[in-house]
């Protein structure tokens, strides 16, 4: 059977060239990067080279790059590490309602410890308003965390503007850039953020490795206490092969960023057009222009997203209903609800995320199978039968 992968926002396969760079570090050059002997020094050299390369590619200093076990750890470290500096444990923090759970759950834990958290609303496209941020800042606010690009609907936030507001009020600003780095141009210095998280497996690097960029002078408390790795700020034996893989994947992604983004955007746009032209009662979620190139999120009325996902899976097509981490739960997406989508439509949502290996044949096949699946599932829906019978026209 034909198999089509349209879930690149969940994860991407490791690029073969990246894998080739990583392989020697599993067994041939396998010293602990913290050991003093020659074996260790080989590992340390690889980590040091990778750190310098990543910093150069992102236009920041090598000493501002901290390796973590992925985006989740980087987000937790940024949020909890800054909160821990507030010794009275009662200050105020601001985030948005559409953050990934890696950020939201960290804030929820802080609320339980006595901190006050404001979750900013978003508009119908999923955008946070700079005025709303300005309004919510209190005298005891010390941290703002707003994601650069959303994982479900792909909306790209005005981070530079939000960060400027935060800085004018002397607040620390963190952004979760896990979906952005490797997909769209990100100039960390121009954004002005104090901390930024990203993760290799979203740009054809290995899973289980990420980075927290921490601007010089910002000192979040430790999240992982242990050895003296990462300049004594994050304990744990350094994952040398994955660090090498992250650096290689980042370079590859950035070298081909414009070309890949253009091709992926063209495929996505033709897919969106064909879906909107062919299938009635469908909502295209998010923003049409402030959007990640590979993301297409739809809500189909009279349908359960999970049933649609399984139907497509039977045809070899992989996509996602909600974000991968929450797809085990049947709760409707907090992101879609925050954009004002009615709960029954949020239940009928599916995210397709395109990557560099997709083709126009993939688009044609997916539209064909999607149209069939939607039709079949709607034929089983009593509500749809009533609406069709009454001829009430456009439901959405
Ligand atoms: N933040 C966002 C926006 C994400 O999309 C993800 C992963 O889906 C994460 C954080 C978590 O990253 P990781 O899987 O590397 O822990």
CATH (domain of 315): 3.90.1150.10
Half-sphere exposure (CA, 13 Å, Cβ side) for 174?
35
**Percentage above 90 pLDDT, the chain:** 92
Mean pLDDT of the chain: 95
Grouping H, G, I as helix, E, B as strand and the rest as coil, residue 143 is strand
**What is the tally of helices (H) and strands (E) in the chain?**
16, 12
Per DSSP, what are the bridge partners of residue 210?
A: 68, 199
Residue 31 CB neighbour total at 10 angstroms: 19
Range of the domain at 202: 16-255
Residue nearest to atom 12 of ligand 1 (CA): 71
What is the CB < 6 Å shell around ligand 1?
70-72, 75, 100, 102, 147, 151, 176, 178-179, 199, 210, 324
Same domain, 206 and 307: no
Quote the pLDDT of residue 392. Answer: 56
Name the band, by pLDDT with cuts 50, 70 and 90, for residue 352: very high
- 394 in a structural domain: no
Q: Quote the number of domains for the chain.
A: 2
- 124 in a structural domain: yes
Name the band, by pLDDT with cuts 50, 70 and 90, for residue 328: low
Summarised one tens digit per residue, pLDDT across range 143-190 is 999 999 999 999 999 999 999 999 999 999 999 999 999 999 999 999
What's this model's pTM, rounded to 2 decimal places?
0.96
Distance 310 CA to ligand 1 centre (A): 23
Tell me the mean pLDDT in the region 128-142.
98
**pLDDT surpasses 80 at 327:** no
Higher pLDDT, 384 or 307: 307
- In terms of phi and psi (left: phi > 0; alpha: psi -120 to 50; beta: otherwise), the region of 86 is beta
* CATH number of 41's domain: 3.40.640.10
**pLDDT surpasses 50 at 245:** yes
Quote the pLDDT of residue 322. Answer: 65
- In terms of phi and psi (left: phi > 0; alpha: psi -120 to 50; beta: otherwise), the region of 204 is left
Quote the pLDDT of residue 323. Answer: 42
Summarised one tens digit per residue, pLDDT across range 190-236 is 999 999 999 999 999 999 999 999 999 999 999 999 999 999 999 99
- 95 in a structural domain: yes
- 30 in a structural domain: yes
Q: Hey, CA dihedral for 128, 131, 136, 140, is it positive or negative?
A: positive
Same domain, 262 and 369: yes
Quote the pLDDT of residue 382. Answer: 82
Both tokens assigned to 48:
């040091």
> How far is residue 172's CA from residue 94's CA, in Å, rounded to a whole number?
10
Same domain, 158 and 31: yes
Q: Which of the listed residues 192, 222, 255 is the one where a domain comes to its end?
A: 255
> How far is residue 89's CA from residue 253's CA, in Å, rounded to a whole number?
40
- 142 in a structural domain: yes
- 131 in a structural domain: yes
Higher pLDDT, 189 or 393: 189
- Ligand 1 atom at minimal distance to the Cα of residue 147: 3
Instruction: Check if 325 is active-site.
Output: yes
Same domain, 149 and 280: no
- Ligand 1 atom at minimal distance to the Cα of residue 199: 15
Same domain, 48 and 96: yes
Same domain, 165 and 73: yes
Q: Which of the listed residues 212, 231, 255 is the one where a domain comes to its end?
A: 255
Same domain, 185 and 265: no
Summarised one tens digit per residue, pLDDT across range 77-93 is 999 999 999 988 899 99
């Amino acid at each position: 059977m034909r198999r089509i992968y349209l879930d690149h926002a969940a994860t991407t396969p490791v690029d073969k060239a990246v894998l080739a760079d990583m392989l020697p570090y599993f067994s041939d050059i396998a010293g602990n990067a913290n050991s003093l002997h020659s074996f260790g020094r080989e590992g340390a050299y690889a980590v040091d080279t990778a750190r310098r390369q990543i910093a150069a590619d992102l236009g920041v200093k090598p000493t501002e790059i901290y390796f973590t076990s992925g985006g989740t750890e980087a987000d937790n470290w940024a949020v909890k590490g800054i909160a821990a500096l507030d010794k009275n444990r009662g200050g105020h923090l601001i985030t948005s309602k559409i953050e990934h759970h890696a950020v939201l759950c960290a804030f929820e834990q802080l609320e339980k410890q006595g901190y006050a958290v404001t979750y900013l609303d978003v508009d119908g496209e999923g955008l946070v308003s700079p005025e709303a941020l300005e309004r919510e800042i209190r005298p005891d606010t010390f941290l703002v965390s707003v994601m650069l690009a959303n994982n479900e609907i792909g909306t790209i936030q005005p981070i530079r503007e939000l960060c400027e507001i935060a800085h004018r009020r002397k607040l620390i600003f963190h952004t979760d850039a896990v979906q952005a780095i490797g997909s769209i141009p990100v100039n960390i210095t121009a954004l002005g953020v104090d901390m930024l998280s990203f993760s290799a497996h979203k740009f054809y690097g290995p899973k289980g490795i990420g980075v927290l960029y921490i601007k010089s002078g910002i000192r979040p408390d430790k999240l992982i206490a242990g050895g003296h790795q990462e300049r004594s700020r994050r304990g744990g034996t350094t994952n040398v092969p994955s660090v090498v893989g992250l650096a290689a994947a980042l370079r590859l992604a950035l070298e081909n960023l414009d070309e890949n983004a253009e091709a992926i955007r063209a495929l996505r746009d033709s897919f969106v057009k064909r879906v909107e032209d062919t299938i009635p009662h469908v909502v295209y979620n998010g923003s049409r222009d402030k959007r990640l190139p590979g993301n297409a999120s739809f809500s189909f009325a009279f349908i359960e997203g999970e049933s649609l996902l399984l139907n497509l899976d039977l045809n070899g097509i992989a996509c996602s209903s909600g974000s991968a981490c929450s797809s085990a739960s049947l709760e409707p997406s907090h992101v879609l609800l925050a954009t004002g989508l009615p709960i029954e439509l949020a239940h009928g949502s599916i995210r397709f995320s395109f990557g560099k290996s997709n083709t126009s044949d993939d688009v044609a096949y997916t539209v064909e199978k999607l149209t069939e699946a939607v039709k079949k599932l709607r034929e089983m829906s009593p509500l749809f039968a009533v609406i069709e019978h009454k001829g009430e026209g456009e439901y959405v």
